Amino acid sequence: MTDVLSRREFLVSTAGGLAASATLGIPHPMRPPRPLPPTPRWAARPVIVASGNGLRAVQRAFELIMQGTDPLDAVVEGVKIQELDPNDDSVGYGGLPNADGVVQLDASCMHGPTKRAGAVGALENIKTPSEVAKLVLKYTNHVFLVGEGAKRFALSYGFEEEDLLTERSRQKWLRWRANRNPKDDYLDVPETEQMVVRPTGTINCEAVTPNGAIASVTTTSGLAWKIPGRVGDSPIIGAGQYCDNDVGAAGSTGRGESNIKVCGGFLTVEHMRRGMKPTDACLETLTRVVAMTEARLLNERGRPKFGLEFYAVNKRGEFGCASLYAGEDFAVHDGTAARLVDAAHLYDEPEPA
C-alpha cells in the first residue's frame, strides 16, 4: 500500500473519515479513521492493555483501532469510560478529593507516530483530563499545563465546568475528615461504620494498532486526601506513562511518589529497547523501585509498604504487567475478547493492608 494518495482518494478518505469520527463521537481526533491493510500485511499484532479497572476501556479501544482509529484517540475514548463513571472513585468524575474536599485530576498521554506528549496536573472541575491532555499534545507547543491555566485551556476548547464531587465521594471525604484527628472539633465516625482505606486508583491504557502505531494514556484523581496541589506520577511524562513508537509503551498505577523517583514508564520502555519482554521489563523496573525506597516505607522484611504496578506493550504487540505483590490483574484485548489476566509479581504474597 502506498502512502501517496491521489487528490480524489484523499478527499474520499477524508470525507469518509470525518463522518466516521463524528459517528464514533471522538472530539478533536488525532486523525480520521482510515482503513487497515489486509491482515497478512499487518506490522503488529493489535492489542490494548489497561490496568485492572480497564476492562471496558480495552473493549472500546480495541473496537476503535480495528475500525482504523488512531491509537491515541482509541485509548482516550477507552479511559473516558472510567473518567465519566461516578462509581469509579479513583479517576475523573466522582474521584476522591484532596484534604480540602476538592477533586484535582492528573493525566498524560503520548502518541508514538508523531512523537508528541501532553499532560495536565491538578485540574479542577473538568470530568475528562485525558481529553485535555490530548488537546495539549495536539494543539500546543507545550507538554504540561497545571491548575487554573489547565482549566482555562480546557474551557477554551468548549469543556464545561462541573462539580466533580459526587455525594458518594463527599461522604467518604467527610468520614475521613471526621476521624483524622481525635482532638479536633469533628466528632469521630463510630468504629462500627466502615472507614475508607487510602486508595491510589488510576487507569493506564496502551494501544498497538495493526499498523504498528503505539499510544498510551494515564489518568487519575490521585491519592485520596492528598495535600492540595499534590501531583502524582500519572501526568509526568516518563513516569505515569511513556511511549516510543520504535519500541513500545509502558504505564503505571499505584503509589505515584515511588514511581516518579525511578521514571518508571521511561525505564520500562528502555528495558524493552535493550531486548526485554514486556513482563520482564516491568519486573525489572519494580526491582529498581524497591532499591530506591526509603527505609520508612519498607516493612520488617525490607519490602515496600505500598502497591505499584507497571503495564507494557512492545512494537510487535506483545504485552505484560507486573505488580510488587501477588493478586493483581490487568485488562487485555488482543483479538479474542476483553479479559482480565493475572499480573506477574515480585513478592508471592498479597499487598500489605
* Catalytic residue IDs: 202
* Interacting span for ligand GLY (CB under 6 A) from 77-85, 170-178, 228-236, 288-296: 228-236
Q: How far apart are CA 90 and CA 156, in angstroms?
A: 26
Per CB under 6 A, 232 contacts ligand GLY: yes
**Contacts with ligand GLY, 256-275, as mask; x by CB under 6 A:** x-------------------
Of 62 and 330, which has the nearer Cβ to ligand GLY? 330
Q: Give me the least distance between CB of 286 and ligand GLY, in Å please.
A: 14
Within residues 189-208, the interface with ligand GLY by CB under 6 A covers: 200, 202
Binding segment toward ligand GLY, per CB under 6 A, in 19-27, 219-227, 275-283, 299-307: 219-227
Among 108, 125, 253, 323, binds ligand GLY (CB under 6 A): 253
Binding residue (CB under 6 A) for ligand GLY from 53, 104, 234, 268: 234
279 near ligand GLY (CB under 6 A) = no
Instruction: Name the residue among 228, 224, 272, 275 with its Cα closest to residue 251.
Output: 272
Binding status of residue 233 toward ligand GLY by CB under 6 A: yes
Of 55-63, 125-133, 169-177, 253-261, the window that binds ligand GLY (rule: CB under 6 A) is: 253-261
Q: How far is CA 94 from CA 83, 89, 108, in A?
A: 8, 5, 19
Residue 237 touching ligand GLY (CB under 6 A): no
Least distance to ligand GLY, CB of residue 176, Å: 17
In the structure grid, which three cell numbers stand for residue 51, read together? 490496568
Q: Which is nearer to ligand GLY, 90 or 245 (CB)?
A: 90
Segment near ligand GLY (CB under 6 A); pick from 9-17, 94-102, 218-226, 340-348: 218-226
Q: Least distance in Å: CB of 297 to ligand GLY?
A: 14
For position 222 contacting ligand GLY by CB under 6 A, the verdict is: yes
Nearer to ligand GLY, 213 or 260 (CB): 260
> Residues 106 to 165: which contact ligand GLY by CB under 6 A?
none
The residue (of 50 and 64) whose beta carbon lies closer to ligand GLY is 50
Compute the distance between CA of residue 69 and CA of residue 72 in angstroms, rounded to an integer. Answer: 8
Residue 73 vs 351, nearer CB to ligand GLY? 351
**List of residues contacting ligand GLY (CB under 6 A):** 200, 202, 220, 222-223, 232-234, 253-256
